[in-house]
Structure 1
C-alpha cells in the first residue's frame, strides 16, 4: 500500500493500489495510449504466456487453457482528453475534445500539454465572476470556448514549443479517500487494474483466456470492434465503470448503482443487451462465492461489450462494471471493496468456465 493514503481511512484493499496509481496517473488519450500501454505490457508479460499488440495499439495477453475454447476479457486503456487545434497570437491554446466532456467541470483545472520536447503545465482559464456581464453569466459552458493558459507572456515561446496536434490531459493524482479511491481516468484504468489482477490470480484455466487492453473506446469502441474480429472469441466479457449517482438530489431510479454495494453485473446499456445466459451465470457464481453484487441497467453510454458482440459474427457477451461517482471528471471515485468484488467475480467466473456452457438462445 502507498504511504500517501488518507490518514482518516483504515480500510485495506486486496488490489494493488500502487499499480492503480501508476495506471491512472499515466497519460493516454484515444489513439495515443503509449504510456499506459507500457505498464499494461509489463504486467501482462509477467502474468500471461505471451503478449502481442496490433496496429491500433490493443494489447492481448494470452493464458493458454486446456482447450481451444477462448474467452476474451476486455478493458479499455484510453482516457478522455484533448488535442490542440489552434495556438493563438497571445499564446493561448484552443482544444478539440477526444471523448465526451461535461464542460462544467473544466474551468480552472490544471492540465498537461504533451509537447514534442516534453510536457508543459497549463491551466484551463476562466473569467472571474467579478467581471462577467449579465450576458456572459447566462451563456452555457462549451468545450469550444475552453482555452489553456501556459503562464507565459512570450507567445513566440509557446508557438515554438506547442504544435497543432499536441495532446492535452488532465493533471491529477490518485489518492485514497475514506473507503474509496479518487482521481482521474478511473474510467477505465480501474478496470484495467481488475483485469491485470485477475490475470495474476488465474491458475491453470480450463479454457484459453485472452486479456485485452483496448484502445479508442471513448471515441466509439474502435479498438474493441477491430479486436473482436481478430481474436474471434467464443465468449467475451468486458470490464468498465458505470454510473453511481448515489448522491444528494438524485432520485433512486436514476442512480443506476450505489457505491459499497458490490460489483455490478451489466444487463444493458445503450450499446448492448448482454446475453441473458451469461449474466445469469455471473449472478450464480457471485451468489455461490458470496461476492457482493448489484445489477446495472444503464440508460445511456456504450462499452467495449458491444464491440465484441457482433464484430465477427454473433458472440455471447457479458460485462462486469465498477460503480463510479463523478464520471468523466478528474475526481472519479470508486469504492475499494467494489473493486475487490469485481476482481473476485471475474476470477471466479473464469475459473468455472469450462467451455461447455451453452450460451445460445
Structure 2
C-alpha cells in the first residue's frame, strides 16, 4: 500500500460527489461541512462560491482558491426511442466517452445510463473514420421512449460514474480536476490555526466554463495576494518526449510559472520555491502551454494583484481515469500550509 499522510476517505468523497459547472450543490455541501469545523466564518455568494475565512492579526488578506466544478453534461434532448442527447459543460474529448457509464441527476433521483459503443465489426469504413463529437453521443437509459421522457428532462445534469481508488502509489478516478486540490485546500485550512494574515479559503464555481466564479470572487473579497490550486498536465507516459511532459508524477508539487491564461508573479513563485526548499518539500516547475486556471480570474479583477499557483501533477486529465501520485498530494498540502504560515503581509510582491 502506498505511504501517505492525507485522509483518503475525504478525497474519495469529494471526487465521487457530483457537481458540474453552475450546479455544484452536492459538493458545496461537503465543502461547507469541512470548512465550518476549521475557520472563523463561512459564507456563500449568489454564484455558489464558498469562502471560509480564518481571521489573522493584520488587515492583509490572502485568497486561496480551488474550483469545485467538474466537467459534465446537460441533457438537451430525449429521442422518441428513449435515447438521451447531451450538451457539454466543460472541455470533453468525445473519444474517451465510448462505453462509459453515466449518472443522470433528475429531480426524482439519479438514473444510471451508458454511452454505448457498437461492436467494431459492425461498423462501416465511413463510421470507423468519423470524428467523435459530443453532439453525436447517445445515452442509453434502458427505457422505451415514453418511459425515458417521463424519467429524464431537458436540463437534467449528467456526470460520469466512476469510483476513486488507490492504484500502486497513485490515486485514480474522476474529477481529481479539481477535487484533489479542493481537498488540499481543506487540509491546509485544518492545519492553519493562528495566521499573521487573514486567509480566505475559496471554493469556486464554473472554472471549467471560463473561470467565472474566481473572476467574480476576486472582485468581492479583494485580496492583497491570491494563490490558486489546480491540477496540471503530467504527460510522463509513452508517446511523449521529455520536453512535453510538463510535469512528472512523483517529482513533487508543481509551482506554476505560466499557463495559457496567466504568467504568475515572479516574486510569488520564487517565494513558493524558497519555502519548499527551506521545508524540504519536493517541487517542480510548471510551464503549461495551454489551458487556464483560477489564477487568471483573480489577476484580472479589482486592480493589479500578485498571484501564484500550486498544481498537483495529474495524468489523463478530463477523463474518468485521472491519476495523481500520493506523494505529490502530500507535498501540495505541505507547501500551501508552510507558505500561508510564513506569510506576514510584509513581503513586497511589486515588480
For residue 233 of structure 1, what is the aligned residue in structure 2?
223
Shift of 1:12: 2.4
Q: Pairwise CA RMSD of aligned residues?
A: 0.5
2:254 to 264, 267, 270: 264
For residue 51 of structure 1, what is the aligned residue in structure 2?
42
Shift of 1:161: 1.2
For residue 165 of structure 1, what is the aligned residue in structure 2?
155
- Distance in 2 between residues matched to 1:156 and 1:258, nearest whole Å: 50
Shift of 1:128: 1.3
Task: Say whether residues 1:281 and 2:277 are aligned partners.
Answer: no
For residue 132 of structure 1, what is the aligned residue in structure 2?
123
Secondary structure (helix, strand or coil) at the match of 2:58 reads coil
Secondary structure (helix, strand or coil) at the match of 1:320 reads strand
Task: Say whether residues 1:149 and 2:140 are aligned partners.
Answer: yes
- Distance in 2 between residues matched to 1:249 and 1:21, nearest whole Å: 30
The gaps in structure 1 that reach 5 residues or longer are 1-9
- Distance in 2 between residues matched to 1:28 and 1:310, nearest whole Å: 25
For residue 62 of structure 1, what is the aligned residue in structure 2?
53
Shift of 1:11: 1.6
- Distance in 2 between residues matched to 1:310 and 1:302, nearest whole Å: 13
Q: Are the aligned partners of 1:116 and 1:161 in contact in 2 as well (CA < 8 Å)?
A: no
- Distance in 2 between residues matched to 1:37 and 1:90, nearest whole Å: 36
- Distance in 1 between residues matched to 2:212 and 2:302, nearest whole Å: 14
Shift of 1:216: 0.1
Shift of 1:203: 1.8
Shift of 1:310: 2.2
1:114 to 102, 105, 110: 105
Shift of 1:140: 1.0
For residue 194 of structure 1, what is the aligned residue in structure 2?
184
Superimposed CA distance per residue, residues 298-336 of structure 1 (whole angstroms, 9 cap, x where no aligned partner): 000000000000211011000000000000000000000
2:170 to 150, 160, 180: 180
Task: Say whether residues 1:36 and 2:62 are aligned partners.
Answer: no
For residue 242 of structure 2, what is the aligned residue in structure 1?
252
When the two structures are superposed, what TM-score results if normalisation uses the length of structure 1? 0.97
When the two structures are superposed, what TM-score results if normalisation uses the length of structure 2? 0.99
- Distance in 1 between residues matched to 2:147 and 2:79, nearest whole Å: 12
Task: Say whether residues 1:103 and 2:120 are aligned partners.
Answer: no
- Distance in 2 between residues matched to 1:148 and 1:61, nearest whole Å: 38
- Distance in 2 between residues matched to 1:44 and 1:187, nearest whole Å: 20
Superimposed CA distance per residue, residues 276-295 of structure 1 (whole angstroms, 9 cap, x where no aligned partner): 00000000000000000000
- Distance in 1 between residues matched to 2:4 and 2:219, nearest whole Å: 36
- Distance in 2 between residues matched to 1:351 and 1:83, nearest whole Å: 41
Task: Say whether residues 1:72 and 2:67 are aligned partners.
Answer: no
For residue 5 of structure 1, what is the aligned residue in structure 2?
none
1:316 to 303, 306, 312: 306
- Distance in 2 between residues matched to 1:14 and 1:38, nearest whole Å: 24
Task: Say whether residues 1:292 and 2:290 are aligned partners.
Answer: no
Shift of 1:119: 0.5
Q: Which moved more, 1:330-339 or 1:131-140?
A: 131-140
Shift of 1:125: 1.6
Q: List, as ranges, runs of 4+ consecutive aligned residues in structure 1 with deviation greater than 4 Å.
A: none
Shift of 1:144: 1.2
- Distance in 2 between residues matched to 1:193 and 1:205, nearest whole Å: 20
- Distance in 2 between residues matched to 1:135 and 1:161, nearest whole Å: 34
The gaps in structure 2 that reach 5 residues or longer are none
Alignment of structure 1 residues 204-215 onto 2, 5 Å = 204-215=194-205
Aligned length: 351
